Structures are given as structure tokens and as C-alpha cells.
């Protein structure tokens, strides 16, 4: 039991580290477009969350958020940092709410499991968007063009980079999950249920 717990802790830490590495290879959008970055940093969190559950996914997201805060910090105030880094990436781990459905679908078909996974990854991306949008409304209203409501500015700004990041991340996760399942079947990896 202790070695299984240790294995899960190592998986969570490696997931956060891989997400941090992937975040360094981001495409930065031009400021005049809207800004933001597109990266594959959500992929490892999605994969871990779907295979090991929401708790593992959320923990990996929190760890990655803390690492991302150190890698590319943008601080206005503590509440903004908490929303933009910790809450936003913890929310990505909510894809793990579909872990049981994903694992059950694996018993029938890999294709079915992948179809089941997509809406839960979108849920994780939506959670990240919700945190980023809230932060934009609360802390970045001064950046909104004159006459544009802050809530609308925050939607446009955050969708401009989160949607492309979500699309490439979901696509990459759909490619990674079957390969990982062949290498380390989820039944072997999930001897410890994390959520």
C-alpha cells in the first residue's frame, strides 16, 4: 500500500514537472491581438486526471500552477495570483471527474473511452477559463478598451488563448492516452484510487 501511494505521489509530481516543461514551449500571441500563450501544458494534467481521478488531477494542477507562477510570474495582488495560477490549473484536473467513466469505457473499447474523455477535458478547460475570466473581470478591467464592458473584454481575451490551448491539448491527449494505455494499462497504474 505504501509503495502504491508513493507511486501516485511520484506520478503527480512528474505530471506537474512535465506540464511545466511543456509550458516553456508556448506560442505567445501578439499583444495587439490579445496576448496570452498557447501551450500543451494541460495535456499531462488531463492524462493523469483521466487515468487516476480528480484528486490526483487537481493536485497536479496546483503543483503546476505553483511552478508556472515561478517560471513566468505576473503578479498584481495575491488574489489574482491565486486565481490565475492555482485555481485555474487545479480546475484543469477536474477532467478527472470522468475517470470512472473513462476507465469503464476502456473495458469496452479504446475509441469509446476517448469519446468519453473529451467532454471531461472540455470541463477542465472550462474550469480554467472560469478562473481566468473571473481574474480578468476583477483585476484587469483597466485593460478593456474604452466603452467595452469588462466582462466582455475578459471573455474575448481569455478565449483567444484558452480555446486554442484546449483544442491542441485535447488533440494531443487523445493521441497520448492510447499509447500510454498500451505501455501502462490503467488497471496497473490505478492500484491506488485517487478520486
Structure confidence at residue 194 (pLDDT): 43
Among candidate residues 140, 147, 151, 149, the one with its CA nearest the CA of residue 36: 140
Structure confidence at residue 118 (pLDDT): 98
Cα–Cα distance between 145 and 187 in angstroms, integer? 52
Top mean-pLDDT range of 134-143, 152-161, 168-177: 168-177
Cα–Cα distance between 38 and 166 in angstroms, integer? 9
Average pLDDT score, the chain: 90
Mean pLDDT of 144-172: 93
Instruction: For residue range 167-191, list pLDDT tens digits in order.
Output: 999 999 999 999 999 998 877 655 4
Instruction: For residue range 80-103, list pLDDT tens digits in order.
Output: 999 999 999 999 999 999 999 999
2-189 to CATH, choices 2.60.320.10, 1.10.1760.20, 1.10.10.10, 1.10.260.40: 1.10.1760.20
Phi, psi of 27 (to 5 degrees): -95, 120
Instruction: For residue range 1-50, list pLDDT tens digits in order.
Output: 678 889 999 999 999 999 999 999 988 877 655 567 899 999 999 999 99
| Helix/strand/coil for 41 | coil
Cα–Cα distance between 185 and 80 in angstroms, integer? 39
State how far the alpha carbon of 161 is from the alpha carbons of 30, 111, 185, in Å: 11, 28, 33
Instruction: For residue range 108-120, list pLDDT tens digits in order.
Output: 999 999 999 999 9
Where does the pLDDT of residue 152 fall: very low under 50, low under 70, confident under 90, or very high at 90 and above? very high
Question: Sign of the C-alpha dihedral, residues 140, 143, 144, 146?
Answer: positive
Structure confidence at residue 36 (pLDDT): 78
Amino acid at each position: 500500500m505504501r509503495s502504491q501511494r508513493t507511486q501516485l505521489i511520484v506520478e503527480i509530481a512528474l505530471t506537474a514537472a512535465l506540464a511545466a516543461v511543456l509550458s516553456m514551449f508556448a506560442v505567445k500571441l501578439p499583444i495587439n491581438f490579445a496576448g496570452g500563450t498557447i501551450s500543451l501544458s494541460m495535456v499531462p494534467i488531463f492524462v493523469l486526471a483521466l487515468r487516476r481521478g480528480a484528486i490526483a488531477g487537481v493536485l497536479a494542477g496546483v503543483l503546476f500552477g505553483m511552478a508556472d507562477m515561478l517560471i513566468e510570474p505576473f503578479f498584481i495582488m495575491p488574489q489574482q495570483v491565486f486565481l490565475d495560477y492555482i485555481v485555474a490549473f487545479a480546475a484543469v484536473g477536474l477532467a478527472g471527474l470522468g475517470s470512472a467513466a473513462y476507465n469503464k469505457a476502456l473495458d469496452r473499447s479504446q475509441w469509446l473511452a476517448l469519446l468519453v474523455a473529451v467532454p471531461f477535458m472540455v470541463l477542465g478547460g472550462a474550469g480554467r477559463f472560469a478562473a481566468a475570466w473571473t481574474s480578468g473581470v476583477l483585476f484587469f478591467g483597466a485593460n478593456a478598451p474604452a466603452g467595452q464592458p469588462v466582462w466582455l473584454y475578459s471573455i474575448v481575451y481569455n478565449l483567444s488563448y484558452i480555446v486554442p490551448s484546449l483544442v491542441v491539448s485535447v488533440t494531443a491527449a487523445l493521441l497520448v492516452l492510447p499509447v500510454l494505455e498500451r505501455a501502462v494499462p490503467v488497471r496497473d497504474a490505478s492500484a491506488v484510487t485517487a478520486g
